[in-house]
Structure formats: C-alpha cells, structure tokens
C-alpha cells in the first residue's frame, strides 16, 4: 500500500486475502513440537498469549513491529513477501530455521528459511506463489530478540538480533537483521560457541566468552552505510546485542 500511496506503483491485479480465514489461523502440535502460523496472523496476536509462550523471541520481535496499528494488520506473510533485511520477524525465523509453506499454481511446497531469502527484498517465491504459513520448532531453552533503532518505539531496525538457545541440543543460533542484504545467520560464531562452552546446562557464562562471541558475530555482519545509520555502527551494534542476548540466556 505504501508503494501505491507514495511511489505510484501501478496495480494490475489485486487479490484480497483478508477473508481467507485459513491464513489467519495458527496451530501447535505438541507431538512434533512445532508451531504453524498462518501467513495472515497479525503480529498483535503474537505479542502475548500462547504463541508468545511457545516462541518468546517471536513475541519480542512482534512487539517491535511498527506501531500497535501496524501490528494489528502486519503479518509474517507480509514480512516474508517484502523480504526487507530489516523485517522484524525475519531474524526469528532465521534463528529457528523456519520452514515456509507456499502455495502456487503448481501446488504446495516447503522452502527452508536458508533458501527463502535470497537478497534485498528478494525471495525465492516463483511467480504466482504466495506464503501460506510458517512452521517453527518449539524449543526448550532461552530465546530473545533485540532491536536497535533511533527511537524508543515505532522505528525501523538499524540493527537487530535474535538468539535462540536449544538446551536439548546444546546449541545457540543467532540471526541478524538490517546488517546485510539478507538476514544473516552467524554460523561461524555459533560453531565457535558450541565448541567452546557447554550450552546444555545453565552453567555460568564467562564475560570474556560473551564478549568474544559478540566480536565473532560482528565479523559475520555485512552492513552498509545509509541514511539511517553507518555500517560501522551497525557492525558494532549487532556485536553488543549478541553479547547481551547471550548473557541474558544464562541469567
């Protein structure tokens, strides 16, 4: 709509999904510990309640999306369709290795997160395909999302990070927003951390480890300068966020 309002984007065909109730549903299947969220579920519904309890990082990200009015209308489907690196929901999907269910002229298919976002505002949807829902694992362990912006509410991320600790598997995953052409998974830093400390149990975290983790996360960012911030600051900020989130996960 912003494209139409501001940039004169011409519309040839408009398909309204507002009344397709199936897209506005979510379902938790405890047997496989997975949560499926319809592409049309508004972020407001993720801020609290059952979805927030199952995937706390998603609820924290949801709470930072635009304004309350935007969250009443904005959806994961929208974030995935636009595929902005600053989309608040996307680092959570990346850190959780979400699976994107899409439907198109040739039927349904699943796309793993790693294959979904391919560039700035570019995804791997084929012509005629749209996002139906997103499937996320429900994990044991701390998870959180943090976002840096110049204002204390209603702001586009200048840098964001999601950290998920899978206590069963002894893994930490980290994904970064707004510091590269796509959302970035910090696989090197993740690997280093898993090989350096035991993430399975709640043992105390050495401050040096947390700082080194932040330093390694920084190295994996691919930020740019733009009118919102500088590459240097963005790189710095994701490092700080990663360190702080890791510390929180041990608190």
Q: Determine which residue in the list 156, 171, 209, 222 makes contact with another protein, applying CB under 8 A.
A: 156
Which of 94, 117, 146, 197 contacts another protein by CB under 8 A?
Answer: 146
Binding residue for another protein, selected from 15, 128, 195, 204, defined by CB under 8 A: 15
Q: Is 180 in the site for another protein (CB under 8 A)?
A: no
**Interface mask toward another protein for 48-87; x: CB under 8 A:** ------------x--xx-xxxxx-xx--------------
Rule CB under 8 A: choose which of 21, 152, 201, 204 binds another protein. 152
187 closest CA partner among 170, 175, 169, 197: 175
Nearer to another protein, 152 or 195 (CB): 152
CB of 239 to another protein, least distance (A): 10
Q: Which is nearer to another protein, 115 or 225 (CB)?
A: 225
What is the size of the binding site for another protein (CB under 8 A)? 57
> Per-residue b/e over 18-40, b at no fewer than 16 CB within 10 Å?
eeeeebbebebeeeeeebbbbbb
* Rounded least distance, CB 112 to another protein, Å: 28
Asked if residue 138 binds another protein (CB under 8 A), the reply is no
User: What residues contact 108, with CB distance under 8 A and at least 6 apart?
Assistant: 101, 102, 132
Is 168 in contact with 80 (CB distance < 8 Å)? no
Residue 26 pairs with which residues in a beta bridge? Answer: 37
Q: Least distance from C-beta 10 to another protein, angstroms?
A: 5
CB closer to another protein, 100 vs 210: 210
For residue 102, the number of C-alpha atoms closer than 13 Å in the C-beta half-sphere is: 24
Name the segment binding another protein (CB under 8 A); options: 16-24, 92-100, 125-133, 186-194.
Answer: 16-24
Minimum CB distance to another protein smaller for 63 or for 100 = 63
Q: Which residues bind another protein (CB under 8 A)?
A: 1-2, 4-6, 8-16, 18-19, 42, 44, 60, 63-64, 66-70, 72-73, 144-158, 160, 226-230, 232-233, 236-237, 240-241, 244, 248
């Amino acid at each position: 709509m912003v494209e139409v309002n501001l940039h004169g984007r011409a519309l040839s065909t408009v398909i309204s999904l507002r009344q397709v109730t199936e897209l506005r549903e979510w379902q938790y299947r405890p047997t496989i510990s997975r949560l499926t969220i319809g592409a049309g579920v508004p972020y407001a519904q993720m801020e609290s309640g059952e979805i927030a309890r199952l995937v706390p990082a998603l609820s924290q990200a949801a709470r930072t999306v635009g304004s309350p009015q935007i969250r009443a209308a904005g959806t994961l489907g929208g974030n995935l369709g636009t595929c902005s690196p600053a989309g608040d929901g996307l680092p959570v999907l990346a850190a959780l290795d979400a699976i994107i269910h899409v439907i198109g002229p040739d039927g349904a298919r699943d796309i793993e997160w790693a294959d979904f976002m391919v560039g700035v505002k570019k995804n791997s949807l084929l012509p005629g395909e749209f996002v139906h829902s997103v499937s996320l694992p429900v994990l044991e362990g701390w998870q959180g999302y943090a976002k840096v912006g110049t204002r204390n509410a209603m702001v586009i991320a200048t840098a964001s990070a999601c950290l998920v600790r899978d206590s069963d598997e002894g893994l930490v995953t980290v994904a970064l927003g707004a510091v590269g052409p796509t959302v970035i998974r910090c696989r090197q830093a993740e690997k280093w951390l898993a090989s350096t400390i035991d993430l399975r149990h709640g043992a105390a975290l050495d401050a040096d480890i947390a700082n080194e983790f932040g330093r390694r996360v920084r190295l994996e960012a691919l930020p740019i300068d733009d009118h919102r911030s500088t590459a240097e600051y963005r790189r710095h900020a994701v490092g700080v966020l990663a360190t702080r989130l890791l510390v929180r996960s041990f608190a």
